[in-house]
Chains A and B, each alone.
Chain A
């Protein structure tokens, strides 16, 4: 296949997993086992007493509430309708009463109008729209599947959180991208289902790859049908052996269009969308503003594939999501199933409260996540981790020093920039020069920040420059 790096099978048997990854993707930081490996034990939590559901669910149009204060709702009931294709319907995730519709901080820390539901302790579900049907995925029309995916309110978080239905490229309507003045239209030929997490510290996808999921096969079949992909590639972490289910899916495929690629998941940022395509397929997504579909790839993670399978077969909305909890101040680490909209404070409360006073509360992973000060911030669909770090674990930039030109950042940068030089431009307000040197190629993985001996806040400077350049 074009663009794929082939190694002779004899070489492949001689290489260790680390070297296989190195051969394809030599940048980034190889985290050792000592640095905060996620625990992959499932933890049960009780139903939350209240949920906060922001109307604006991602970068896009907010949905319109169809309930008012005081209404009784059941789990899975529509509470806000989607006026346009770019917004998503919103569903109640617990049964109870609508307490208020007011402003709350969302996952980005900005106050947004949200619906607050006070739970009544029960988990009464709505009746599914139709009787559960035992049909093969191939008997559905692709438009029907896309409709059900949109109705279930699924999102994908591979690049930025967007509704899955708008991210999917139906086979008959390829999307055109304008990149650098060129029009790029590509047909999807490969569907990549990644079991790598965005960071080595998160573990939801690896956990899902290690257990059996009855919806996985359905979800993959549905995604394959919509995108029209000819090949399927499962990307798994070599350190976390996948369940026999994935191997069965590969073995069951007679035409040999499905293969398993195992990569070293401890090398950050191999789990991010752009490096994983490079490492698994050897293709380079055009940057900036590129999308995997520009190189003919549809990239989804295990979570999305399973959610698609669930949404198509049951037609029930997504009400809970899996998150990784961890960090020194968290009472226990593991994989927690939480209802969407649960305030992070309540999640920590239900796990047993902080074990030590935390310094930072992070939604997302410790490398790319966002620090929060407000414990009422709700878990949303894009949340994949919740970390409480102690003072010993974090290190603040404080008064950073002059760049000493050591070149460590150049060594680790996954998109081959010169982060040290860029940070100097950004700190001296030479944003035009930073842009010319590839500022917008930066995927903000934070590797340069991690290794910098002068402790320069690289990502902070880059984001500052990007905001200055993008300001109207």
Chain B
């Protein structure tokens, strides 16, 4: 055996290098043969021409011989690969329907994977664009405990922390501070809001970037306390608003309360470390802070508003740097506690620093997004597998149809390995074309996905080198999976029998096809179960009673933008807004508010006689509102009453509590008339006058979250100019009229913003909606593919067994028996797949749990429905070809070529 191998290799190598010479030699050899043959004929007396003609006739096609001999020589790999390619392309062109079908199927599968990979990559793996040395760049988090001793992780800090850390740590090369805020740019009628990143000068050093125009600001312009009023524009903003002109350096731009000078433009696609998309501008953090809070901000302990980055010295380990960070935090907090002793004891706070990776999805603040995206990538992979199974089945049928062609080639000296290689080439070509189509699909689909899903997506395209690499990998795997089974099966079985046998020498029973089908059914079941669970979960989320109505409510807020109203002015502005809003046609109710669900909330101290340390029991969210507060939001009052005109300033202080708060503080008792001291334990008793339906204001299911409500008139602080408005009819139509009327009330540079409440609440549903949509889409696709697979397999089977079935019918077997035979074989396979799929889903259920909302992953109803759907589809997919089978004319069936 080894000898033979060596000899083969030697031969081929020689053939490779002496190709021309070998051709020549073959020519010589064959012409010698023909000469001798012609001589033989001439010896019997015929003319030379006749002799030559006979010789050639006896020989057969010379060229064909040459080709086959060449083949048998085992010519160079490259030559034969090129041949394979030509042959494959030719074959594909001859069958456009087949080719299109395969390419489309594979394209969908590969495209979906490419798009999802792009997203998962961005969320979990790829460091932010341009980040230098990702291993030493960290996001700073601080662990601690809330007042009620719950652990929590923060990434927003006071400016003094930033200063302290820089001063007292030794393990870091630099720190950066930044925050992204939506601020008003421009002035007058040109005012528009955009995301602005406020960043220290050191921020830009974290990235390997050069400005597209001008320069970035340096430490001199970022000095404490005032900084310099300079701005670096974002690239997109520069293109959109300034037409990409290069003469903008030195121009002024109003941002929030200040006027800033443009000194440069950031490079295209630069996002930085933020997670809110590409900013419109970058401003020194000191300049912003100074304008917003005055020169005292570096000393403030309470204004925790900015995030921090740290560049660790490479020679220091993460553990050591973490320790250094922790001691620095403790030292800094010691000062804070010294200045605010009523905040508690330092030892109780459990303060600890953490250096996390730059990607938010990899740190302590990882949201649900990354998890869902990963799951959807897994789903896409499953769909690709199903598509591959289908295509593999198609290849198998084709291979069987071509078995005579194969047998002939094998008889003529082509080895099985070569034939197998040619089949794999065909599947590779199809997979490549499918991959190209898939990338196109990914581009389209990605745009839609981005809009629905990724705030953080930079404007760069989803299709980039890493995704391309991943796609190439997917293509290889696809080609292998689809081509391997028919390739392995070539040449098996009795060749000669095949060559001379008829078209139907008995049913072609390949074990691979039924297995593929079971495989497809299993995967489809798993996907559909996932889809069902998500759909139900989403419906739970949607139907979840938030405690208030979202759809008909608008939220209007005034942005003072530097204008500092006095308390009296602020109060009158708020009230004017309220009155004006009420008078607009279409507005049902309006109320003042100081908090917005899921967006902002306030808290304050609470003391209840008889209860020791109320604030330990949970998070008490504090709200104030006008008498129409509950009517505006559609919240029911369960007991007692809401506030009304009686509850004015100076009258007896009252409050309304949420039903869960009532139950928590006074279990089993009537909450009405109970006394609560708000703000200080020496405050007068506020009396509970009503219990309201539970309102979910910060999280959907927070256990220790409670809310209570105080009339704005009785709240000591002046109301902020923010209102809720409840409208009849389509809220979108009232946004502009409301804004116009309210804007008239705005003093100075202030401007008003009106948004539907749904815009603020819905984002929390996003992850669920996305997961559901994807699962349902993919599950449906998987089901379609499996149905097609089943149909084609059974139809094929029927064709194979035509004669046998015809015989059965001729012999008197009833049509329904034959039908039953075919359908039952298909059902058996799908049934096996269903059982396997259910088992697989049960086993994987535990990982799904975190993604579902009030839904058990082992819901028997869903499992049952999915199994039923699949079996139904199986019956339909089997019955259609089976019906055709019963119409076989027995005579013609038996007469088929044998």
Q: Do A and B come from one complex?
A: no
